[in-house]
Amino acid sequence: MEAINYYQIYLLRHGESTGNANGYHQGQYDFPLSEKGTQQARRLASLLKARGLNFDRIISSPLSRARQTAEILAETLSVPLELDPIWMERDAGLLSGLRPEEAQKLYPRPDFISLYEKIGKTGESQWELFLRAGQAIESILRCGPGRYLVVSHGGILNMVMYATLGIFPQPNFYGAQFLFTNTGYAVLHFYPETHNWLLAELVQPILTENAEGQPSS
């Protein structure tokens, strides 16, 4: 694989989990991939391989839904896999593992949520998640220029986008939102000599099979 003197960072959300499929608050509750999520990961892996994409390293959250997605990608693409808890989803506190109606009954959402208020009473505030996202992206930059695939979760991936693109988090979850569907991904380039970040792509793949049974998007 040709060496590069800048960073290509793919930020990928995991495939559908059983928590996604059944409408639970997930946070750091460890839901595995659903059957559909496993199929999504396999099809995406085949698609990336068919496009000739390769990486120096795959880095994944250790939560099952991300780890299982990453393992499928690592095996298909023959890329080393590293698990790092800094890429885990936001700690949603007491909301984790609850259905939305249960969460609203037990822990009603306040009318106003400051940047510093812990989510689900014991979880991470928006500010804490933003700071962790900065540390997460810094951990990749310490690895040196190259191509990296991160398999993670929608909440923290949004805050990584904030940290890299110079967006400040807002109270009450106001402000910009980046849509990461299951197996959706963003591609960031970072040029260390000029300290420039570039959002190169934001991809929401529609993974289906064509008439020959091959993945398409």
Active site residues: 14, 89
Cβ 174 vs Cβ 167: under 8 Å: no
Gap between the Cα atoms of 9 and 64, Å rounded:
22
Residue corresponding to tokens 């780890």: 67
How many Cα atoms occupy the beta-carbon half-sphere of 190 within 13 Å?
Answer: 20
Gap between the Cα atoms of 204 and 170, Å rounded:
25
Residue type, 146: G
Burial 101-113 (b: 16+ CB within 10 A, else e): eebeeeeeeeeeb
Q: What is the 3-state secondary structure (H, E, C) of 22-91?
A: HCCCCCCCCCCECHHHHHHHHHHHHHHHHCCCCCCEEEECCCHHHHHHHHHHHHHHCCCEEECHHHCCCC
